[in-house]
Amino acid sequence: MREYLSFFKIRFSIGLQYRAAAWAGMATQFAWGGMTILLFRAFYQSSQNALPMTMSELSSYIWLQQAFLALYMVWYFDNDIFGSIMSGNIAYELCRPIDIYAMWFTKNMAVRISRAVLRCLPILVFAAFLPAPYNISLPISPAAGLLFIISMILGLLVVVAFSMIIYVSAFYTISPIGIRILATSVLEFFTGAIIPLPFFPQSLQTLMYLLPFASMQSTPFMIYNGYISGERIASAISLQIIWLIILLALGKTLMVRALRKVVVQGG
């Protein structure tokens, strides 16, 4: 356990050093969050039908997306991992008395958390002082705030567990670019990163909530803004736990099988 904690500390401290990139990222996220809210505002003003979320709930959802983008950005993959597989440097990892799956999992978490730590607080403070209903509001209750934190941690673990499957797939392909593009496109759509899931047709929502993608970021954000409440919170968090177990088991199994057959050329 100590060696994995050391990996976490090293990658976390490295991530904290990129402060200029963090400031640039915050500026981008301020602008992107503001443009997204204004886009939905125009949609709300022109719509004649009842909408699934209030403007206040939607604003909180969007600002949470921007504040914790680094935690849940499904398009982020560690190029060092892909590089070690494609170049054959994975041989050095195999010589270490450690579990490669656990090491990669720990490194991925550390990078995401370090980037989120640098960016989340300024964005949340900025969003809190915006005029209603374009600001981020407090959770509907202290209990909802606590459950949001629990769900947010589970969401991060689900994202990393799914990313590990993409890393393992590189053992079976000539280039990982294709699977990365496909995975990113699917995840961006089904996680609610582009359009919040409540805006989809009801028949499609049922399927989307059952898939692991909703557990990555939609569930914690919906708990925060009150869209998911009561007994539905327990069901949503339970589904996150189930998908986390499934993805961890699948990723670990695929990793073991891949390492049994891995061939490294050269000397």
Q: Which residues contact 262 (CB under 8 A, 6 or more apart)?
A: 90, 94, 171
* Residue 235: per-residue pLDDT: 93
Residues of the chain short of pLDDT 50, as ranges, are: 267
In which residue are the tokens 């280039």 written?
175
Estimate to the nearest angstrom the gap between the alpha carbon of 149 and the chain centroid: 14
Determine contact, residues 127/135, Cβ cutoff 8 Å. Answer: yes
Half-sphere exposure (Cβ direction) of 76: Cα atoms closer than 13 Å: 17
**Looking at the domain assignment, is residue 266 inside a domain?**
no
Half-sphere exposure (Cβ direction) of 33: Cα atoms closer than 13 Å: 27
Q: Which of 242, 224, 31 is nearest to 157 (CA)?
A: 242
C-alpha distances out from residue 261 to 164, 237, 254, 255, 264, Å? 18, 37, 11, 10, 10
**Looking at the domain assignment, is residue 64 inside a domain?**
yes
Question: Residue 133, exposed/middle/buried by CB under 10 A (0-12, 13-18, 19+)?
Answer: middle
Q: Which of 172, 185, 170, 173 is nearest to 74 (CA)?
A: 185
Residue ranges making up the domain that contains 8: 2-261
Question: Residue 169, exposed/middle/buried by CB under 10 A (0-12, 13-18, 19+)?
Answer: middle
- pLDDT mean across residues, the chain: 86
**Looking at the domain assignment, is residue 195 inside a domain?**
yes
* Residue 116: per-residue pLDDT: 87
* Residue 150: per-residue pLDDT: 95
* Residue 162: per-residue pLDDT: 93
**Looking at the domain assignment, is residue 267 inside a domain?**
no
CA angle 22, 179, 253 (to 5 degrees): 100
Question: Residue 189, exposed/middle/buried by CB under 10 A (0-12, 13-18, 19+)?
Answer: middle
**Looking at the domain assignment, is residue 221 inside a domain?**
yes
**Looking at the domain assignment, is residue 180 inside a domain?**
yes
Total structural domains in the chain? 1
In which region does residue 58 sit, left (phi positive, over 0), alpha (psi from -120 to 50) or beta (all else)?
alpha
pTM: 0.90
Q: Per 3-state DSSP, what percentage of the chain is helix, strand, and coil (rounded to 5)? A: 75, 0, 25
pLDDT per position as a tens digit, 222-261 = 999 888 888 889 999 999 999 999 999 999 999 888 887 7
**Looking at the domain assignment, is residue 192 inside a domain?**
yes
**Looking at the domain assignment, is residue 124 inside a domain?**
yes
